[in-house]
Structure 1
Amino acid sequence: MDLGSGISGDGRCLFRSVVHGTCLRAGKHPPSESLEKELADELRDKVADEFIKRRKETEWFIEGDFDAYVMQMRQPHIWGGEPELLMSSHVLQVPITVYMRDKKFDSLKIIAEYGEEYGSENPVRVLYHGYGHYDALQSPSVTTPQTKSYMRRWK
């Protein structure tokens, strides 16, 4: 497993990593920097819509005012975290696994998994660096019907 793809740290890194990982999962070449940015912003917007759609089940774990949070999350420079990873799994209908480097054992460890209801095989894999930055990890190639519709834009 590759230890990271060098995702830009522009406030979109979580969304870029998920987009990048979704592409790799589907057996496609990673998108160009500009297309990755565009797709990350598109995913961010769909994630914000998903929060609204799932308000009853998500409002309790959002700190502060829910509507203000969702409005702020639509801004491209705002960092995403666990709630956005969960909503990304729902938007893309794929499992997402988050890894972190275990320096003691010089290996990667799973710190979170989202979207288990979409299966457990070939998840989108992202690496969390522990200081607010995410990278994409290499993953095997498997395309699902849900990722095919999202991937059409990447051709």
Structure 2
Amino acid sequence: MNAEQPIALAPTESHDELKARHKKEQKDLQAKVTGLKKTATKGDKKKKKEVLAEVAQLESSLKKQQDQEEKDWIQANGDPNASSQADQNVTTLEDEEEDDFDPNDIPIDHLSMEPEPAKSKQPQQQQPSGGKKPNRQKARKNRKAQALKELQDEAEKEAAGQVNMNEVERKAIEELAQVMGVKVQDVTADGHCLYNAIADQLSQHYQKKTSVKDLRHDTADYMRENSDDFLPFLTNKQGDMMSAEDFTEYCNDLESTAVWGGQPELLALSRVHKVPIWVVQMGSPTVKLSADVYPAKTPLMVSYHRHMYGLGEHYNSLRPATAQ
């Protein structure tokens, strides 16, 4: 396989599963947006602008990611005749309940709104009996929408001038990889990126052909059998130490869903395959898992990205930088 081509692994999810995952990611984003909005105190225009800027970046990142995944899936599997825009259900600030983030709280005279036209001096005509009254609720809603749009436009302009952390991180990791004699091989961000990266590494260095399903199964089994090595370092959704029941659910999800993996799963993978795993990341020393346990073995190398996508971490494979 040409090292410059994307990793050609067998598809790990159907189109319905892809759409279901996209919907879940959109719900996660909606929850995150709601949390961000609550950090903006009433009347704090500067904070609201910062929130809008961050939301714009998150929505743009998710849209780009999901559009690319939809395109990749169709290219690999054909048009299912049921595809839809990946961002169709992405909730924007305008779609949220107005009470959570009310632009009417912002003094109107602080916004660049057009002045209202001067009132006519002519006497108003009396409405016929039974005629419709002015819709004050609709007019108020329109004023809110206009105020929010101006605020969001201003926030987007500021966001355009902010540092692109994705690009900064990408460049930093590529420079580290070059020094180590490897190069970044992109892996699809489908929830299985860690396992796809490890599968690519096993193929590159040990000629082992494996699947995401097998890697997830082996990882979950190892963690179940060695729970004492993992349970003290894991927390549940409330931030508390996991109970035995929490841990069982965690391992079951790890094995049967597209839930993301991290350092605990990498440690388990290194023990299952009896090889060290190195994790290269920006701003931190390379993490070398099981390097002391298997010092003579060629390490599997992956890169860890915090800023590549808006909703969470991502892993890529680091292939040897051999001459073409």
* TM-score of the two chains, using structure 2 as the length reference: 0.36
CA-to-partner distance for each residue in 1:38-69, whole Å, 9 max, x for gaps? 61221111000000110122211121221111
Moved over 6 A (4+): none
Q: Please state if 1:111 is matched with 2:286.
A: yes
The structure with the largest strand share of the pair is: 1
Match of 1:19 among 199, 221, 242: 199
Residue by residue over 1:72-92, the C-alpha shift from the partner in whole angstroms, topping out at 9 and shown as x without a partner, is 111331100010000000111
Share of identical aligned residues, percent? 26
Identify if the C-alpha distance between structure 1 residues 119 and 10 changes in structure 2 by more than 3 Å, giving closer, same or farther.
Answer: same
Is 2:188 the partner of 1:8? yes
Quick one: distance in 1 between partners of 2:220 and 2:297? 26
- What's the secondary structure of 2:211's corresponding residue? helix
1:42 to 207, 210, 214: 214
Aligned to 1:34: none
Give the SS at the match of 1:52: helix
Closer, same or farther in 2 for the Cα pair 1:139/1:110, shift >3 Å? farther
Q: Give the aligned partner of residue 252 of structure 2.
A: 71
Rate the CA distance shift 1:120–1:114 in 2: closer, same or farther, 3 A: farther
Q: CA RMSD in A?
A: 2.2
TM-score, normalization by structure 1: 0.72
**1:51 aligned residue:** 223
Structure 1: tracts of 5 or more residues without a match: 32-37, 103-108, 141-155
1:2-56 CA-partner distances (Å, limit 9, x unpaired): 4321211110000110111111112x4x97xxxxxx6122111100000011012
Deviation at 1:129, TM superposition (A): 1.2
- In structure 1, the partner of 2:318 is 137
Q: Which has the larger radius of gyration?
A: 2
Does structure 2 conserve the Cα–Cα contact (< 8 Å) formed by 1:125 and 1:139? Answer: no
Once structures 1 and 2 are overlaid, which stretch shifts more, 56-65 or 82-91? 56-65
Q: Assess if the C-alpha contact under 8 Å between 2:185 and 2:317 holds in 1.
A: yes
Structure 2 unaligned spans of 5+: 1-180, 237-245, 308-312
Q: 1:124, CA displacement in angstroms?
A: 0.2
Q: CA deviation at 1:120?
A: 5.3
TM-aligned CA deviation for residue 121 of structure 1 = 4.6
In the aligned structure 2, how far is the partner of 1:76 from the partner of 1:2?
31
- One-letter code aligned to 1:43: L
Q: Deviations over 1:111-139 (max 9, x none)?
A: 31112202255200001112411011014
Distance, in Å, in 2 between the alignment partners of 1:57 and 1:133 is 24
Question: Match for 1:127: what amino acid?
Answer: S
Cα distance in 1 between the residues matched to 2:288 and 2:257: 24
**Count of matched residue pairs:** 126
Structure 2 CA distance for aligned equivalents of residues 44 and 110 of structure 1: 27
